[in-house]
Amino acid sequence: MSQPRGWKELPIGAVPFRLSTDYKTGDWRALRPVVDMNKCVKCMLCWIFCPDMAIIWDGEKILVNYDYCKGCGICAHECPVKAIDMVPEPSE
Amino acid sequence: MIEVRWHGRGGQGAWTAANLLAMAAAIDGKHVQSFPAFGPERSGAPILAFTRISDKPIDLHSMVYDPDIVVVLDPTLLKNVKVTEGLKKGGLIVVNYEGSPDKLYQLLGIGRGEYRVVITPATKLALEILKRPITNTAMIGALLKAEKLVRFESIEKALYERFPKPIAERNVELIKKAYEEAREV
Amino acid sequence: MTEAVTPKIPLEKQKLLTVNGDEAVAWAAKQSLVDVVAAYPITPQTIIVEKFSEFVANGEVHTEFVPVESEHSAMSACVGAAAAGARAFTATAANGLALMWEILYIAASLRLPIVLAVANRALSAPINIHCDHSDAMGMRDSGWVQLFVENVQEAYDTTIQAFRIGEDERVLLPVAVNLDGFFLSHTLENIHILPDEAVHEFLGGYRKVPKVKVDYFEEEVPLMLNPARPLSFGPLDLYDYYFEHKMHQIEAMKRVPEVVREVNEEWYALTGRRYGDGVLVPYEVEDADVIVTVLGSTAGTVRHIVKKLRGEGKKVGMVRIRMFRPFPHKELAEILKGTKVVGVMDRAISFGSYGPSFLEINTALYDLKEKPLLVNYVYGLGGRDAPPALIEKMFEELLRDAEKGFVEKKLRFLGVRE
Amino acid sequence: MAQQTLPQVPIKKGEPAYKLWIFEPGWKGELPLILNPRQLAEQKRPAILPGHRLCAGCAAPIIVKLASFAFRGPTIVVNATGCLEVATTIFPYTSWAVPWIHNAFENAAATASGVESAIKAMKKTGRLPWAHVDVVVFGGDGGTFDIGLQSLSGAAERGHDFLYILYDNEAYMNTGIQRSGGTPKFAWTTTSPVGTVLPGKTQHKKPIADIMVAHRIPYVATATPAHWLDLMKKVRKGIEVEGPAFIHALSSCDRGWRHDTALAIEVSRRAVDTCYFPLWEWTPETGYRLTDRSLSIARNPKMKQPIEKFVEVQGRFRHLLKPENRHLLRELQEWVDAVWEDLLNRATNAPR
């Protein structure tokens, strides 16, 4: 991330100039959801309940956008067929 | 610049009279000001209102302390209010009054010749014409008799601007009548 | 100052009204194509919203009138309306203005050119409905432009000008038009108003919103709540950006005087009326030994006395401060330099300090090599009248100070009983 | 038009995963209310973008997301000060894909009044390039039950056309879990701590939705994110009615309620199953009507769970489970039962 801008470069009225999609909250995560598409019944409840809009339905399968997923575990808890596991983040 | 002080009781329309006179003078092309002595007035309480009329723009934005003219809408005020306070020497007093001039001079606490005094039986006329004891417009009639501050047509115009037609009409009639009956005593 | 010109709309084409200050403001708002008026009754402002409600009830305006449940909500609704791109107006006084306080800052920071008429009135307690400037002085640091008018005509003129000033792209700040409670709000005077179309033209029609550039749109987008180009108003701003945003307001304030002057001259060309240079209104200051500064309607009474004393050969003058925020420090110092004594009239006091305009003028004069003596007259609190005799007494005191060459008491209370 | 900052997430069908809501001037029509989850995932995109900094497992963004699926077209969002506002717009970022304004804490409804009035005025003068622009407010319990009640009541009385969605996490979570008028009795908060004398908050929750019903506005409802279809349908109704509408949505806060981050939906479900937070809607025409799970419970009272089921997963009620505090739990149960009975009596669709 570059230097914060000086006042002359900011829009007036203090309106934010970037979308929060530029801000990756994925590094808040201790546990990561992993979807087993063999078990998944594509009910979309994980997509519906994800508070971070991190579950993606690509038309065939459930993907997790790890850029944003904070690892709360709601998806795993709500999955009616237990197709989502919360696994520890790999520590590199 | 002419400064007029109006004495009345809350609800009698002293401020309205002050406004009507100012409106008429403005129609005549004069510079005007009109305002009440500001207080939380309630019906019945003695109140003051003021009108300033001038050929030049009026700078002053304070109350009136030494008026040229005082107008008294209600004779019962004379007992408790010193209506001549600050009145310029030789100034004009216009009173709603129908008793004897001597009694009036006594009530006012002034000697003959100190001021000009003009009376009109405004309450009686208002009851006749408006069927209500609202004396403010009658007193404008009396005032105009004593001093041609504004043109009669201008007062008429101001009344029609301010009030619905039937009310304005009756008040014009009342002003005329009060004008006719007003006399210097 | 420009040469006298024939106004574009000569006086005979302007309509004569005999109205009080509140009604004059309502007329101005009516002609200014205001989209939203959100207001709450409080003496001595109430006539403004009453009169405006009549215009609404008779279908004479397109305005949405929002009879809110408090002044706090009045200013809040104005913020919402202005952010949505509307021209918004409200009016208040005293305690009502105090209740708005929190949102005044927000209106200024979001750069929303709301116009607020303040019928100046003393703050409680004890409760008092009459004129002083303690309400206006409470908002002086909120980022609003503050104009003070002297008479009813100016109340009308300035309310219209306020929209132009606030909406100017160099400014984009809310503007407060201050008129003295009762002394103007309830005082009937003869004024001349423009035809509706002339006001519309002066304001450039309905409000136009400025554009801003944010990273997520390629082109500049309107600074408003716009479903076509969404922006977010009123974010959380931490120590990494808040200061920069305040710089925006500081810089915008710097540009206000030039806009106020321009608008004043343009108004003059249109109507034949102007108020000094729009910022300061000096009178008989050229060779004056004593100059009095004053805000609001008292200026008329002071001028009346200056005329009288000049007639007696006394070298006195006055400056009316029409624009209190931003404060014209330099311009005022330029006028006051070379005079012997300056009397600063304040219809408010900062408890434990001096009157608010005294503090400003003290600051303004600090850089002068030869500083005039300075006296602060606090007067008229709670509507206490300032009659000509009292003003004259003040000038006499100041003339004596000028003669003596020093000032014994810097803070004086005019018209109070000992 | 570029939105470079929107990440390109691989999507085979339908819309990209994230998008700004753009309604070009002249846009006509009405976004459909989609209730099929698969279609929803393929066609709808939330008005709240990822990258917001609400806590992991917070229910508030779920409520906002679900509500936005029910928006019918151009919509302006007004937000009271609170967690949602603070965490979604940390300058220079915004998480809002729709026009959004935060004014202050206590004035969201007044701000919405102004926005709505501006829309009306611009429509009247031919300056609004859309057939309608809806106004939706999100306010927390502090900004609604407490400091913002006056402005909400005023706006409701004046009849402005907006939908107010209360996301009720039952305390001032933004400032660190202080009790509010929405905090239930016996709940621990930092200003109603459990001490040796006091068992947490000593007053019951304010009946905010009933207060709004008393205003006789066109639509009032309760909702939870767990009952997502019910919530979406209610939001659409609230937007569609002319005039003010109010939805009281329970919004769990794992930090304040002291539960696992995965339980936001679970705890909302338990709130309804125990009748602690019944689901209903009210209109002047129909009166109170139970909806979704609460209607099922009314028809089959055996489904009603004891209040322990709600309490046991939350640390804020931990003290109620101690043997010496059984009487407190009983009192809470009695209160819940009384409120539920009262609702059953009022509900026009409850079995008699």
CA-to-CA dists, residue C287 to A52, B98, C398, C401, C406, angstroms: 73, 58, 15, 17, 19
D271-288 pLDDT, tens digit per residue, is 999 999 999 999 999 999
The closest alpha carbon to B151, from B131, B175, B174, belongs to: B175
The closest alpha carbon to C25, from C91, C97, C113, belongs to: C91
CA-to-CA dists, residue B6 to B16, B172, D133, angstroms: 10, 20, 55
Q: Do chains B and A touch (3 or more CB pairs under 8 A)?
A: no
Q: Do D40 and A48 touch (CB under 8 A)?
A: yes
Q: Is residue D302 part of a domain?
A: yes
Q: Is C386's pLDDT higher than 80?
A: yes
Q: Which of C130, C150, C152, C188 should be substituted to probe chain B, the one whose Cβ sees the most B Cβ atoms within 10 Å?
A: C188
Q: Is B43's pLDDT higher than 80?
A: no
Q: Is residue D1 part of a domain?
A: no
Nearest residue of chain A to residue C82 (CA atoms): A13
Q: Which of A25, A45, A76 shows the shortest C-beta gap to D53?
A: A25
Q: Is C26's pLDDT higher than 60?
A: yes
Give contacts of C297 with chain B, Cβ < 8 Å: 61
- The reported pLDDT for the residue numbered B46 is 87
The closest alpha carbon to A40, from A18, A19, A64, A23, belongs to: A64
B95-136 pLDDT, tens digit per residue, is 999 999 999 999 999 999 999 999 999 999 999 999 999 999
Which residues of D, range 103-142, sit inside 8 Å of C by Cβ?
103-104, 106-107, 110-122, 124-125, 127, 129-130, 133
Q: Is residue D69 part of a domain?
A: yes
Which residues of D, range 214-253, sit inside 8 Å of A by Cβ?
225, 228
Q: Is C1's pLDDT higher than 70?
A: no
DSSP state of D218: S
**Shortest distance, CA D129 to any CA of chain A (angstroms):** 23
Give contacts of C103 with chain D, Cβ < 8 Å: 103-104, 107
Within 10 A of B167 (CB to CB), how many other CB atoms are there?
Answer: 14
The H or E element containing residue C19 is: strand C15-20
Please list, in sequence order, all residues whose beta carbon lies within 8 angstroms of the beta carbon of residue C220, skipping any fewer than 6 positions away: C211, C212, C213
Contact predicate B78/C322, CB 8 Å: no
**Domain spanning C280-414, CATH architecture:** 3-Layer(aba) Sandwich (3.40)
The closest alpha carbon to D340, from D246, D274, D241, D244, belongs to: D274
D288-299 pLDDT, tens digit per residue, is 999 999 999 999
**Hey, what amino acid is at D296?**
S
Neighbours of D (≥3 Cβ pairs closer than 8 A)? A, C
Q: Do A4 and C231 touch (CB under 8 A)?
A: no
Q: Is A1's pLDDT higher than 60?
A: no
The closest alpha carbon to C330, from C414, C257, C238, C250, belongs to: C257
Whole-number mean pLDDT of chain C? 97
For residue D1, what pLDDT band results from cuts at 50, 70 and 90? very low
The H or E element containing residue B32 is: strand B31-36
Q: Which of B33, B38, B158 shows the shortest C-beta gap to C383?
A: B38
The average pLDDT across D39-62 equals 96
Nearest residue of chain B to residue C183 (CA atoms): B61
Q: Which spans in C94-151 are helix H?
A: 94-109, 134-138
The average pLDDT across D209-218 equals 98
Give contacts of D43 with chain A, Cβ < 8 Å: none
Q: Do C235 and A7 touch (CB under 8 A)?
A: no
- The reported pLDDT for the residue numbered C4 is 63
Tell me the C-alpha distance between C271 and C269, whole Å. Answer: 6
C35-50 pLDDT, tens digit per residue, is 999 999 999 999 999 9
The average pLDDT across D22-46 equals 96
The answer, yes or no, to whether ipTM is higher than 0.85 is yes
Q: Is C160's pLDDT higher than 80?
A: yes
Here the tokens at position B172 are 């014009």
A1 Cβ under 8 Å from any chain C Cβ: no
Tell me the C-alpha distance between B25 and C273, whole Å. Answer: 21
Q: Is A53's pLDDT higher than 70?
A: yes
- Considering its fold, how many domains does chain D have in total? 1
Q: Is C30's pLDDT higher than 90?
A: yes
**Shortest distance, CA B30 to any CA of chain C (angstroms):** 8
Q: Do D37 and A17 touch (CB under 8 A)?
A: no
**Domain spanning B2-184, CATH architecture:** 3-Layer(aba) Sandwich (3.40)
Q: Do B35 and C183 touch (CB under 8 A)?
A: yes
Percent over 90 (pLDDT), chain C: 99
Give contacts of C300 with chain B, Cβ < 8 Å: 58-61
The segment(s) of chain C belonging to CATH 3.40.50.920 are 280-414
The closest alpha carbon to C53, from C42, C41, C71, belongs to: C41
Contact predicate C308/C317, CB 8 Å: no
- Considering its fold, how many domains does chain A have in total? 1
Q: Is residue A39 part of a domain?
A: yes
Q: Residue C378: beta bridge partners?
A: C346, C413
Q: Which domain CATH number covers D303?
A: 3.40.50.970
B33 Cβ under 8 Å from any chain C Cβ: yes
Q: Is C2's pLDDT higher than 70?
A: no
Q: Which domain CATH number covers A80?
A: 3.30.70.20
Within 10 A of C8 (CB to CB), how many other CB atoms are there?
Answer: 16
Contact predicate D147/D174, CB 8 Å: no
Q: For residue D314, give its domain range.
A: 42-346
Tell me the C-alpha distance between A34 and C162, whole Å. Answer: 61
The H or E element containing residue D289 is: strand D287-290
Q: Domain ranges in chain B?
A: 2-184
**Shortest distance, CA A73 to any CA of chain D (angstroms):** 4
The average pLDDT across D168-176 equals 97
Here the tokens at position D259 are 């539960």
Task: Tell me the CA end-to-end span of chain C in Å, nearest whole number.
Answer: 45
- The reported pLDDT for the residue numbered D11 is 75
Give contacts of A15 with chain D, Cβ < 8 Å: 94
Nearest residue of chain D to residue A9 (CA atoms): D92
Q: Do D114 and C63 touch (CB under 8 A)?
A: no
Tell me the C-alpha distance between D23 and D114, whole Å. Answer: 21
**Shortest distance, CA D265 to any CA of chain A (angstroms):** 7
Q: State the fold for domain C11-209+253-271.
A: Rossmann fold (3.40.50)
Tell me the C-alpha distance between D345 and D352, whole Å. Answer: 8
Percent over 70 (pLDDT), chain D: 99
Q: Is D8's pLDDT higher than 90?
A: no
The average pLDDT across C359-373 equals 96
Tell me the C-alpha distance between D261 and C22, whole Å. Answer: 58
Here the tokens at position C353 are 């300090």
Which residues of A, range 13-42, sit inside 8 Å of C by Cβ?
13-19
Q: Which of D98, D150, D158 shows the shortest C-beta gap to C230?
A: D98
CA of residue C273 relative to chain centroid, distance = 17
Q: Which of C167, C173, C216 should be substituted to probe chain A, the one whose Cβ sees the most A Cβ atoms within 10 Å?
A: C216
Which residues of D, range 20-49, sit inside 8 Å of A by Cβ?
20, 37-38, 40-42, 46, 48-49
Which residues of C, range 166-225, sit inside 8 Å of B by Cβ?
180, 182-184, 186-190
- The reported pLDDT for the residue numbered C331 is 97
D299-344 pLDDT, tens digit per residue, is 999 999 999 999 999 999 999 999 999 999 999 999 999 999 999 9
B125-181 pLDDT, tens digit per residue, is 999 999 999 999 999 999 999 999 999 999 999 999 999 999 999 999 999 999 999
